[in-house]
Chain A
Amino acid sequence: MRPRRVLVTGVARPLGAQVAAALAADPDIEAVVGVDTVSPDTIDPDADLGRTRFVRADIRHPLIAKVISTTEIDTVLHLNVIATPLGAGGRTAMKETNVIGTMQLLAACQKARSVTKLVVKSTTSIYGSSPRDPALFTEDTEPRALPTAGYAKDAVEVEGYVRGFGRRRPDIAVTVLRFTNVLGPQVDSPLARYLDLPVVPTVLGFDPRIQLLHSEDALAVLMRATREDHAGTFNVAGEGVLLLSQAIRRAGRPGLPVPFPAIGALGGAARRLRLVDFSAEQLDLLAHGRAVDTTRLTTVFGYRPRYSTVETFDAFVRARELRFTVDRELVSRIENGLLGSLRNRCLVGPS
């Protein structure tokens, strides 16, 4: 069924704002209602949400039910699962928004007769990272080590509530999209900030595989999930993987291997200095990496990301104009200089 009246939670964040703007630009959609605790203008003054009606509401309060019933929403996009405590005003507030907020939103949807579709943005970090996991996670893989803290744990709980909701309202099409790390010109994610450091600390003795998703692809997947009916759970990631060391090299950065126990302290210090928002659960990712299988996304959901992981990363490096510490051109030049002198020597030497 085509969506007509759409509710988007978390519109003050870049992805939410983009989705709301794209939906508002679609003439087939009657109304777009954006919900967040802060106005989108306060975060990004240039945000243009078109004809989106912004409702300043906290999804942790039952007020959200009133918004849904009075505006007769038929499609709910839940994008308000936050990854960074800094953005949410601390870990406690983040957990409340993520878990209690989702519970309130689902309760409101369950009551509302008009709702026919729910799209939830989740994360691949619910799979955790451990050396005993298969190389690629499929949607059905049982993770060996469930995340015990932070965003990933919130996401596990959110997905649990969403599954319960799906059982209680089988008439509502529920799409759960598990996004991998999203990188893009405007995205301010922990990973982006991490890679933005002049010297990138890594875990000594480990080189994780990372997978990225371009923000344009993230947007396109959300739009497709909204416009069409694709009930189910899907991993969303760009094709291929990058090794962290390779990514650091491609960005022309020097890596700084730090022993595992020390990197936790370093992360804490960086968090306190507000340099990087790096939480403990991301440490496992830095050691063991994570990659997901996106076969279901391409075959069942019917979307093939336009950017591969490597292309996403290169686009990010270009857009950010990362300060190259190790210059690519310089390396090429040195190589050619050496080759030239090598040839000279070969020609001169033996005669």
Chain B
Amino acid sequence: MGDRDENKQDAGRAGDAQIIPLNTDGRADGAPSARPVRRRGSRAQAGVPARRRAPARDQPAQGAPAGDPVDMGPPDADHPVPAQPGDGPDLAGGGDDTDGSDNPTGAAIGELEAALAGMLAFLRRRITGDYVIDEHGFDADLTEHLLAPLLRPVYRDYFRVETRGLENIPDTGGALVVANHSGTLPVDALMMAMAILDHHPAHRNLRMLAADLVFAVPFLAPFARKIGNTLACQPDAERLLRAGHLVGVWPEGFKGVGKPFRDRYTLQRFGRGGFVSAALRTGVPIIPCTVVGAEEIYPMIGNARSLARLLGLPYLPITPTFPWLGLLGLVPLPSKWFIEFGEPVPTDGYPPEAADDPMLVFELTDSIRETIQHTLYSLLMQRRSVFF
């Protein structure tokens, strides 16, 4: 879409802008009578005219005066797969390959080509700044095209995450996912986001609420915002929920993620129940979520408290591998993970003033905490071992 708008803009900016669809210059270059021969020929032959065509395609662009916007077909670059069939007669051979089910190499090549074209289009968008971020700084383009492909193998092959209860997450509308927090580094949040993005039928993005420390740390701060974090505070939580986003919150915070290994799988205090009042105010369901496996990725056997205080960090972990092995110590242990999304707890049945009733807020907080703790125990019972 963005590319098409850009085309219009370009055309509007300079009245003499030339828009050269990919198939026209192919036609302009080759004699039409020769084409059927080429198409019937082997793929090696088909490559020859295609190669000959390439410089011709560049010519109008070079010949055009500097600054004259020449649009060279980003429409198909942005949507690589559907663009293929209509990609000009010369490439019909390639199109046939992708269509023909009897030619598996051709199909694989088509896929590869589409993937590479998608990658190029992504790079172009990044270089020219042609993407949209929302008001919280969430960059869907980066998350879906760079972060997700990087995390996918970690999710699937490294932690072998088994996700259950995705049907409890609504396809549309606001919902608050409340989960336990563990693992020294918040990898569990990323894996939950991956589970929902990849395996939920609506492929929703999980918008995460993070502590203010995250937004003060160089490099981490912009990264966190781009992948969908925002500050864990009432205004931001309510704004996201009202806008119909799926919001993830880890009420244990640093107490949970930075707890010593001996306390694994015991839930810490659930903050002050701010997440419950946010859900009550916006009337969205609360979905308890339980993550098993994250506790073992960086077993925190010690905490360099004084150094942490010096650096302004809530804790500084000492694990069996960190800091002894240096950066290598940052490689997580390959534990086997389970993520279970529980039954949603509706909050729209309460009167509007319920959010200001501390007793109700505490009760709901406790019941959600209980639910997660019970699920933790039952998942641990089902787990054969930490690593399998």
Contact = CB atoms under 8 A, between A and B. Distances in A.
Contacts of A270: none
A312 B132 CA distance: 14
A240 B109 CA distance: 40
Contact of B219 (A205, A246, A318, A344): A205
Contacts of B226: 207, 243
Contact of B128 (A289, A318, A328, A346): A328
Given A240-B132, A347-B47, A347-B93, A339 B77 contact: yes
Given A205-B219, A348-B47, A335 B113 contact: no
B137 A132 contact: no
Interface in B122-140: 123-124, 126-137, 139
Nearest to B51: A344
B112 to A, nearest CB: 7
Given A209-B133, A343-B91, A348-B44, A204 B72 contact: no
B43 interface: yes
Nearest to B42: A351
A243 B135 contact: no
A326 B230 CA distance: 31
Q: Mostly helix, strand, loop or mixed at chain B's interface?
A: helix
Interface in B71-123: 71-74, 77, 91, 93-94, 105, 109-110, 112-113, 116-117, 120-121, 123
B48 to A, nearest CB: 9
Interface string A311-351: 00010001000000010110111011111111110111111
A138 B121 contact: no
Contact of A205 (B51, B120, B218): B218
A136 B235 contact: yes
B309 to A, nearest CB: 19
A328 B226 CA distance: 23
Interface stretch (A41-49, A105-113, A247-255): A247-255
Contacts of A209: 133, 135, 137, 225
Given A331-B128, A335-B77, A344 B47 contact: yes
B215 A288 contact: yes
Contacts of A348: 43-44, 47, 51
Given A249-B127, A336-B57, A342 B117 contact: yes
A331 B91 contact: no
A263 to B, nearest CB: 12
How many of chain A's residues touch chain B, expressed as a range? 35 or more
B363 to A, nearest CB: 27
B74 A332 contact: yes
Contact of A206 (B94, B218, B236): B218
Interface in B1-48: 9, 13, 42-44, 46-47
A132 B214 CA distance: 10
A346 B113 contact: yes
A291 B136 CA distance: 9
A98 B216 CA distance: 32
B212 interface: yes
Contacts of B117: 339, 342
B221 A206 contact: yes
A120 B314 CA distance: 44
Nearest to A318: B13
Contacts of B233: 134
A141 B126 CA distance: 34
A346 B231 contact: no
B227 interface: no
B58 interface: yes
B109 to A, nearest CB: 5
A331 B113 contact: no
A175 to B, nearest CB: 24
Contacts of A206: 218, 221-222
B56 to A, nearest CB: 10
Nearest to A334: B124
Contacts of B128: 249-250, 252, 326, 328, 331-332
Contact of A249 (B47, B74, B129): B129
Nearest to B219: A205
A72 interface: no
A133 B231 contact: yes
Interface string B218-258: 11011001100011010110010000000000000000000
A141 B235 contact: yes
Contacts of B93: 347
B54 interface: yes
B113 A132 contact: no
A136 B73 contact: no
A335 B124 contact: yes
Given A288-B221, A339-B117, 8 more contacts: A132-B231, A206-B222, A241-B134, A260-B218, A338-B120, A340-B53, A342-B116, A347-B93
21 contacts: A131-B221, A135-B136, A135-B236, A136-B235, A205-B217, A209-B225, A241-B133, A246-B129, A250-B128, A288-B215, A314-B9, A333-B72, A336-B72, A336-B73, A339-B77, A340-B53, A342-B117, A344-B50, A344-B54, A346-B112, A351-B42
Interface of B: 9, 13, 42-44, 46-47, 50-51, 53-54, 57-58, 61, 69-74, 77, 91, 93-94, 105, 109-110, 112-113, 116-117, 120-121, 123-124, 126-137, 139, 212-219, 221-222, 225-226, 230-231, 233, 235-236, 239
The 6 closest A-B pairs by CB, nearest first: A205-B218, A249-B129, A207-B222, A131-B215, A348-B47, A250-B129
